[in-house]
Chain A
Amino acid sequence: MSRHSKNAKAFLKDAKYSEWHDATFWAVREKRDNMAHGLPEWEQLRQKASQIKLHTLSHLDEYLEQFSAAAEKNGAIVHWAADAAQFNEIVFGILSEHGVKMIVKSKSMLTEECGMNPYLEGKGIEVVETDLGERIIQLLGQAPSHIVMPAVHLTPDQVGELFEREGISSEIGNHDPTYLTYRARLSLRNEFLTADAGMTGANFGIAATGDIVVCTNEGNADMSTSCPRLHIAALGLEKVIPDYDCLAVFQRLLCRSATGQPTTTYTSHFRKARPGAAPMHIILVDNGRSEWLGNPEHWQTLKCIRCGSCMNTCPVYRRSGGYSYSYFIPGPVGVNLGMLRDPRAHSGNVSACTLCLSCQSVCPVKVNLGEQIYKWRQMLPVWNAEPAGKKILCKGMSMVYNHPLLYKAATGVVKKPFHSLKTDSDE
């Protein structure tokens, strides 16, 4: 039994909670459907978005150069981080240079991916998450259970008791979400005013203008960059898109797909540092992406714009929760990203799929998520083989991936061991 199956079994023991979880995410899926059905051009938008991503990813070298040149022309300092370790070092270097002791930050799955918060805390820098959901799980010492709604697995009582322990709430026993949100607002306001630096992720980087575009409902990215004298923005390489015409397509799809709203409350463009502040730092992070781009079967996972709609619709995610998966991004896109990251560590997640393909029918950029999971399953013998055989198979596969002709020839060979495995892993 895979780790996911074991965790899912434990998750389902609390029938009332698991039913609530399922219904909560299905409701988000329905809100997304209302938005999609309200726009006659929805399918055309998805088609264009997919084509723009194919074009951009297959010209990513050119767009990254264009983006960094534009950003530098605006006065920003652009860094290139090959991996998570280099990213963390760059961030720490900038913070040290400016004598920063505390940073406020908006939500970023990239900093999560790189383990930035624990790294900086180890260096004595206080990191304050300012998205309400992120702040809640930060105080609990948890990881996000969903990429858009990181604390949705918690009940108001759990949040209320946390706020009482942390001294954020003053009325003991008042667990009303409106009250709790207000208390968090009061508490975070102090951090916004006193932080030395603000850090944001990015939903998009615009090659034509050098803009960093951040979409939030809370306004916390804007609050994080309105008072501190330093702004650091971090983005994965695949976040760069050509221009505003392309951005309009993605902006219209992103929030409708994510939460079922026609737009996020804030769609903010950062091009220059605020007056009197230090230059803005932009860090472009590879951390595997340039290699994944060369994977003939799976490079299109990089089209993902992180809306989370594949999770909300997934019958397995809804009934097993974000923590059942071994990778920090759960659900269909997380299964795929985990396999790209480290197939030996995350091959258990490929069983967390019924192949219903609901994920790819809602994906705003048409990533063929379910089909890719099917393809990963064909490779299970490689990742599950005995150590000696595994070594040979892995070596063989990396050679095959780098030689397209060999790859075609090899497909038949790989399928054979899969058939013998299918009976015990899939049934």
Chain B
Amino acid sequence: MSSKQDILGRIRAGIRERYEMPSLADLQATVFPDPLEAFITASLAAGSKVVEISPSSDINATVRELFPDAKVIASNLPEINIATINPDTVGSAQELNGTDVGIIRGSFGVAENGCFWIPQAMKEKAVCFISENLVILLPKTEIVNNMHEAYRRVNLGDYGYGTFISGPSKTADIAQTLVMGAQAARSVTVLLV
């Protein structure tokens, strides 16, 4: 406790002039004539695959078609009936290791950079990272222009965790060579519903 008061005391002693918070209302952030088209372009650039499907089509069949060799499929989504493991009911997060395909839901996408917001909606968030391939169900009507609009919509939910993801895990740490598939998902497929 004393460190806290000492630190705050030193800060107060050091501040000479208090600066005003700028207004952000006049910020002229980029908007797109067709946010969905911009989102798709940015997603592809970030390494995501994008598949548009009609609301009446069977998502399970689409996932099977995309990943014919997948054995372990993890999901807690009610519309997914091909899941072999459920991140809500596993005994430990470690059990999700070895997942070929994880299927999760995104709340909305961001046109300027191809990311989508994933609030934790499962007990073990490991499924979002540990799966070799990640499939995101995203409503195509829910695309915002930029991060300013995005952060007005961010909601972490009860688990108190959420993440923006754009494309597969990647690195350029060895000689600046871009490699897809560092520590988390090696491929990301956005299913626009």
Q: Mark A280-315, 1 if CB is under 8 A from B, else 0.
A: 000010100011011110010000000000000000
**Inter-chain contact B167/A265, CB cutoff 8 Å:** yes
CA distance A51 to B24 in the complex (A): 10
Q: Mark B141-165, 1 if CB is under 8 A from A, else 0.
A: 0000011101110101001111111
Sample 24 A-B pairs with CB under 8 A, ordered by A number: A27-B176, A51-B19, A55-B21, A61-B15, A64-B8, A86-B3, A149-B172, A178-B179, A217-B182, A220-B184, A222-B129, A226-B125, A244-B151, A245-B152, A246-B24, A262-B114, A266-B169, A268-B162, A270-B160, A271-B156, A275-B159, A286-B3, A290-B10, A294-B10
Chain B residues, CB < 8 A from A151: 173-174
The answer to whether A54 has its CB under 8 Å from any CB of chain B is: yes
Chain B 1-29 interface 0/1 with A at a Cβ cutoff of 8 Å (1 = within): 00110111011111111111110100111
Residues of A within 8 A of B7 (CB): 64, 80, 82, 237, 284, 286, 290
A24 to B94, CA, bound (A): 39
Which chain A residue shows the least CB distance to B15? A58
* Neighbouring B residues of A132 by C-beta, 8 Å: 171, 173-174, 182-183
**Complex Cα gap A259–B171 (Å):** 11
Given the known inter-chain contacts A265-B166, A267-B164, please indicate yes or no for A193 contacting B94, CB distance below 8 A: yes
Question: How many B residues touch the partner, as a band?
Answer: 35 or more
Enumerate chain B residues within 8 angstroms of A294, measured Cβ to Cβ: 10, 13-16
Q: When the two chains form their complex, are residues B182 and A189 in contact, meaning their CB atoms are under 8 A apart?
A: no
For residue A123, CB closer than 8 A to chain B, the reply is: no
User: In B31-78, which residues have CB < 8 Å from any A CB?
Assistant: 42, 45-46
Query: Contact size class for A?
Result: 35 or more
Interface centre among B15, B160, B183 (most CB of A within 10 A): B183
The CB with the most chain A CB atoms within 10 A, among B14, B114, B129, B174, is that of: B174
B128 touches A222 (CB 8 A): yes
Q: Shortest beta-carbon distance, A173 to chain B, in Å?
A: 16
Closest 6 CB pairs of A and B: A294-B14, A272-B160, A219-B184, A133-B173, A271-B160, A218-B182
- Judge whether B129 and A219 touch: CB under 8 Å: yes
Partner of A245 from B18, B42, B151 at Cβ < 8 Å: B151
Beyond A81-B3, A226-B93, is A274–B159 a contact (Cβ under 8 Å)? yes
Check B183–A192 contact: CB distance below 8 A.
yes
- State the CA gap A242–B172 with chains docked (Å): 32
Is B130 in the interface zone, CB < 8 Å from A? yes
Partner of B115, one of A130, A220, A267: A267
Neighbouring A residues of B148 by C-beta, 8 Å: 245, 248-249, 252
| Chain B residues with CB under 8 A of A259 | 172
Q: Smallest CB–CB gap between B164 and chain A, Å?
A: 4
> Which chain A residues lie closer than 8 Å to B110 at the CB level?
263
Complex: chain A residue closest to B112, CB-CB:
A262
CB distance from A43 to the nearest CB of B (A): 11
**A181 and B115 within 8 A (CB):** no
A165: min CB distance to chain B, Å: 16
| B residues 170-190 in Cβ contact with A at 8 Å | 170-177, 179, 181-185
Q: Is the CB of B174 within 8 A of A274?
A: no
A58 touches B161 (CB 8 A): no
Kindly specify which of A154-162, A346-354, A379-387, A389-397 makes contact with the partner chain: A154-162
B4 near A55 with CB under 8 A, answer: no
Tell me which residues from 65 to 117 in chain B have a Cβ below 8 Å from any Cβ of chain A. 92-94, 97, 110, 112-115
B179–A177 touching, CB < 8 Å: yes
B contacts, CB < 8 Å to A: 3-4, 6-8, 10-22, 24, 27-30, 42, 45-46, 92-94, 97, 110, 112-115, 123-126, 128-130, 146-148, 150-152, 154, 156, 159-177, 179, 181-185
Q: Does A182 contact B (CB under 8 A)?
A: yes
The number of inter-chain residue pairs (CB within 8 angstroms) is 257
Complex Cα spacing A54 to B92, Å: 45
Q: Are the CB atoms of B164 and A266 closer together than 8 Å?
A: yes
In the assembled complex, how far is the CB of residue B32 from the closest CB belonging to chain A, in whole angstroms? 12
Are B28's CB and A293's CB within 8 A? no
A29-52 residues with Cβ-Cβ distance < 8 A to B are 39-41, 44-45, 47-48, 51-52
Distance (whole angstroms) from the CB of B9 to the closest CB of chain A: 8
A116 to B74, CA, bound (A): 37
**Complex: A130 Cα to B182 Cα, angstroms:** 10
Do B184 and A193 touch across chains, with their CB atoms under 8 A apart?
no
Residues of chain A contacted by B154 (CB below 8 angstroms): 244, 269
Task: Provide the bound-state CA to CA distance between A193 and B93, in Å.
Answer: 8
A211 to B120: give the CA distance in the assembly, Å: 14
On chain A, the residues within 8 Å of B45 by CB distance are 262
Closest CB-CB distance, A34 to chain B, in whole Å? 12
Return chain A residues, CB-CB under 8 Å to B173: 131-133, 136, 149-152, 181
Instruction: Tell me if A125 counts as interface (CB < 8 A to partner B).
Output: no
Bound form: Cα–Cα A44–B26 in Å: 9
Residue-by-residue, is A150-188 near B (CB-CB < 8 Å gives 1, otherwise 0)? 111011100100000000000000000110111011001
Determine if A415 is an interface residue (Cβ-Cβ < 8 Å).
no
Residues of B within 8 A of A270 (CB): 160-161
Which residues of B have CB within 8 Å of A54? 19
Nearest Cβ on chain B to A46's Cβ, whole angstroms: 11
B16 touches which one: A218, A263, A296 (CB < 8 A)?
A296
Among A74-92, those with CB < 8 Å from B are 74, 80-82, 86
A226 contacts B159, CB within 8 Å?
A: no
Q: Which residue of B lies closest to A64 (CB)?
A: B8
A81 to B20, CA, bound (A): 28
Contact B14 A82 (CB under 8 A): no
A180 touches B150 (CB 8 A): no
